[in-house]
Amino acid sequence: ILNVEQSPQSLHVQEGDSTNFTCSFPSSNFYALHWYRWETAKSPEALFVMTLNGDEKKKGRISATLNTKEGYSYLYIKGSQPEDSATYLCAQPRSNDYKLSFGAGTTVTVRA
């Protein structure tokens, strides 16, 4: 993996169902992995900054795990609600400075 990649590009989930999607990133020179949620017509909102292999973070019904050795992170949404509809971006600092490389995002649509 040379760049930050996210899959799937989009997904539809029924209200009340749980879902998850993937962020893959270069595992060499790992510093951190950021997750952002971007709702339509709003600004991207930081969800998590993950730094340690095996890290698991939770915010309400959303949680994320991190595997730095194999270069992936999963984001889980439990019991999806319409307000979870958004594009979820992951981003990785590629050096020890301010630069973030973003994935193209996974767009989640929750159907009532």
Partner 1 sequence: DTEVTQTPKHLVMGMTNKKSLKCEQHMGHRAMYWYKQKAKKPPELMFVYSYEKLSINESVPSRFSPECPNSSLLNLHLHALQPEDSALYLCASSQGGGTHQPQHFGDGTRLSIL
**Which is closer to partner 1, CB of 17 or CB of 49?**
49
- Select from 43, 70, 83, 112 the one that contacts partner 1 (CB under 8 A): 43
User: Does position 104 bind partner 1 by CB under 8 A?
Assistant: yes
**Which is closer to partner 1, CB of 45 or CB of 56?**
45
Least distance in Å: CB of 19 to partner 1? 21
Size, binding site for partner 1 by CB under 8 A: 26
Phi (first) and psi of residue 19, to 5 degrees: -150, 165
**Which is closer to partner 1, CB of 10 or CB of 18?**
10
CA distance 29 to 109: 34
CA distance 99 to 29: 14
Stretch that binds partner 1, among 13-21, 55-63, 68-76, 97-105 (CB under 8 A): 97-105
Query: What is the total residue count of the chain?
Result: 112
One-character DSSP codes across 57-102: EEETTEEEEEETTTTEEEEEESS--GGG-EEEEEEEESSSSS-EEE
- Select from 40, 70, 96, 112 the one that contacts partner 1 (CB under 8 A): 96
